[in-house]
Structure 1
Amino acid sequence: MSIENMHVTRRSKASLIASFAAVIILVILISAPLWAGRADMRLMAELFLYLSLATLWNLMAGYAGLVSVGQQAYVGFGGYMLFSLTMFAGLSPVVALIGVAILGGLVSIPIAALVFRLHGAYFAIGTWVIAEVFRLTFAQVSSLGGGSGTSLPISIIKSMADGRAARESLSYWLALGVMVAVILAVYLFLRSRKGLALSAIRDNELAASSLGINIWRTKFLVYVITAALTSVVGALIFLQKLRISPDAAFSVNDWTAFVIFIVVIGGIGTLEGPIIGTLVYFLMRETLADLGTTYLIALGVVAIVIMLKAPKGLWGIIRDRWDLQLFPLGYRVQTTQSKKGS
């Protein structure tokens, strides 16, 4: 006769396969400078950075319920801090990234204390207003080019590595490394006690509060972490561009609207969603970008259709159809059959 053995685990066959596949893909991506052209590497680096932004915004909106339309504040702040630390403090761009993360986290503390007084749509508007204040402020800093912006000095660019190919490879590896670090950090955070508290808050704030979870402190921590990492991503974005200006650094379209599109079509509140959404976004952009405004209309139509027909996003369809979970956060009961002699 056979009996069922039940055990509780986070792992699944799909997650194990995904882990092996991720390692193989990562090895291939690390070796990209050996087989990819410069244009391909720049495109992949941009994809990595957009995926990082989408993952961080998804942590805020999808898990903490903080729907911000002002994350461009930290993208631009990170870019300007990188230029400032390299131009005026004499730090190398790679070392300056550490300072950017610290400064991004510090500047977000008083901002969080301010915008957390707002709720719902007012919170979203408040974050956008903060981003506009950042844009107008940096436009007045003459040492950084004022409203027209500034370029990274040639001496700083050459200090990164010997030769243009080496510098582009370094920028690519930094973008890849930050993407992996962001995804891994968010995944581990969501699996931690704070992550469990965040999931409880997302499901029911009143019930979470009754269990002793400090809702304000948990959301505050998420906001500060997201701001620090978003600042680093912003620094890498403008390290690749080698030039920064207020309008480009604090663009709501480039650094928030497109990121929201990515998360919505991929699946908000899931780690897999931003990955799917980023791939779809770049596929559409590279295919339809030559069509001008038609490209933006197509993005809008796709977003509306998915929100109406598949509120959980593309990953939600895949997950419900095949019961897949590549980044398991919760536990599940698995049963195995074993034979027992009579």
Structure 2
Amino acid sequence: MNPRTFDVVRGTDASRSLLWVAAVLVIGAATLPLWGESSWMREFVEIACYFIFAMMWNLLAGYGGMVSIGQQAFFGFGGYVMLMLGNFAGVNPFVAIPLGALAAALIAVPVSFVAFRLAGGYFAIGTWVIAEVFRLSFANVSAVGGGSGTTLTALRGIERATRESVTYWMALACVVAAIALVYLFLRSKRGLALLAIRDNEVAAESQGIPVARMKLAVYVVAAFGAGLAGALYFVGNLRISPDAAFSVNWTAFAIFMVVIGGIGRIEGPLVGALIFWALNKFLSDYGTWYLLGLGLLAIVVTIFFKQGLWGYAQQRWGWSLFPTQRRLALRDPAASKRSMPAARVAEKLELHPHAKHQ
């Protein structure tokens, strides 16, 4: 059997159709400020911040195997840098959003020197301690309001309708960019190397993968995304405080969204963010019962849907909107539509009497 009769296939019919559907949806969504209500735009900005932050946590933990409960450090840092650039440096706050994300990525480099000295549960607790150091540090800076926080005054000269429209467009652009960059990264060789590191660092390093450099790169990218979400959130909120910016609830919410949707899947944070937003909007008035409901839902999903709701749908019906798995498909036109995982093809090759010689 000639191995050249097989091609590596990563896309599916559903994913190719999704590309066109997504393009139409994005174009349609971009027109929302022209005909929609301002409350709709505010809700979308909130969902976008949840989704971006959850996706970056999923990239770090679900794909990189680094479980952190201190990503709120970069969320708050990005927000504070955006506010300081806007209030004190005269930078347009919308321009300061990516600058705040870049600052969060830069600060993640020295922070990683401390965090990467820990492993497993110690790494998770260590990141939480680092986030608390960030919170206490900004709480003692009187220029940004200290512990009570301060208001984003740089937007005072901009009309409310213009401010809300630009914030909405920034959120839409950030969501599209986050999905595209993470998807392209996971489809690349570096994404494959990241999965190998997650499964077994020793084996990955023995195959020549630069484990330390890859982990640092993913940590910095996740910090950039968290800072982007933080800067975007506080532009829409117009006020920031240490307790709101560096609250551990941000990471707790991200874990909830990723676990509900499906960890280690691009679609997981999207599904989880929509579910979390819906629960938060319609059930938050019930106080402690709302929190009990979130906990009960998380328990039910982890028991009966161990791979999340999207993971269950993917296993049950084969849904994969953002496929990253590499598959082997026959080049024969009659069989080109049939694809199978590489492991199954390898098994069929082994059954062939001359497979090893071929």
1:242 Cα deviation from its structure 2 partner? 0.7
Task: Tell me if 1:293 matches 2:288.
Answer: yes
Equivalent residue in structure 1 for 2:278, among 272, 275, 283: 283
Tell me which residue corresponds to 1:245.
241
Matches within 5 A, 1:19-168: 19-153=19-153, 156-159=154-157, 161=158, 163-168=159-164
What residue identity is the alignment partner of 2:203? A
Task: Tell me if 1:313 matches 2:303.
Answer: no
Task: Tell me if 1:265 matches 2:260.
Answer: yes
1:206 Cα deviation from its structure 2 partner? 2.3
What residue identity is the alignment partner of 1:15? S
Asked if 1 retains the 8 angstrom alpha-carbon contact of 2:80 and 2:231, the reply is yes
More relative contact order in 1 or in 2 (CA 8 Å, sep 6+)? Answer: 1
Identity across the alignment (%): 50
Distance 1:171 1:225 in 2: 22
Equivalent residue in structure 1 for 2:188, among 187, 192, 212: 192
1:124 Cα deviation from its structure 2 partner? 0.6
Distance 1:259 1:210 in 2: 33
Distance 1:274 1:171 in 2: 22
Number of aligned residues: 330
Distance 2:156 2:144 in 1: 20
Distance 2:86 2:195 in 1: 39
Tell me which residue corresponds to 1:215.
211
1:74 Cα deviation from its structure 2 partner? 0.7
Give the TM-score of the pair, scaled to structure 2.
0.89
What residue identity is the alignment partner of 2:34? L
Q: Report the more deviating stretch, 104-113 or 89-98.
A: 89-98
Task: Tell me if 1:232 matches 2:193.
Answer: no
1:79 Cα deviation from its structure 2 partner? 0.8
Task: Describe the superposition over 1:213-248 as per-residue Cα deviations: whole angstroms up to 9, x where unpaired.
Answer: 121111111001111221121011111111111111
RMSD value, Cα: 1.5
Distance 2:98 2:48 in 1: 19
Task: Tell me if 1:202 matches 2:233.
Answer: no
Distance 1:96 1:7 in 2: 45
Task: Describe the superposition over 1:175-217 as per-residue Cα deviations: whole angstroms up to 9, x where unpaired.
Answer: 1111111111111111222111101112222221110112111
1:61 Cα deviation from its structure 2 partner? 0.3
Task: Describe the superposition over 1:64-87 as per-residue Cα deviations: whole angstroms up to 9, x where unpaired.
Answer: 111111111111111110111112
Q: Given the superposition, is the C-alpha separation of residues 301 and 136 from structure 1 closer, same or farther in structure 2, using an over 3 Å criterion?
A: same
1:337 Cα deviation from its structure 2 partner? 4.8
Stretches of structure 1 lacking an aligned partner (at least 5 in a row): none
Give the TM-score of the pair, scaled to structure 1.
0.93
SS at match of 1:334: strand
Distance 2:149 2:95 in 1: 23
Asked if 1 retains the 8 angstrom alpha-carbon contact of 2:102 and 2:227, the reply is no
Distance 1:106 1:44 in 2: 28
Distance 1:301 1:319 in 2: 23
SS at match of 1:338: coil
SS at match of 1:333: strand
Distance 1:83 1:102 in 2: 14
Distance 1:330 1:90 in 2: 46
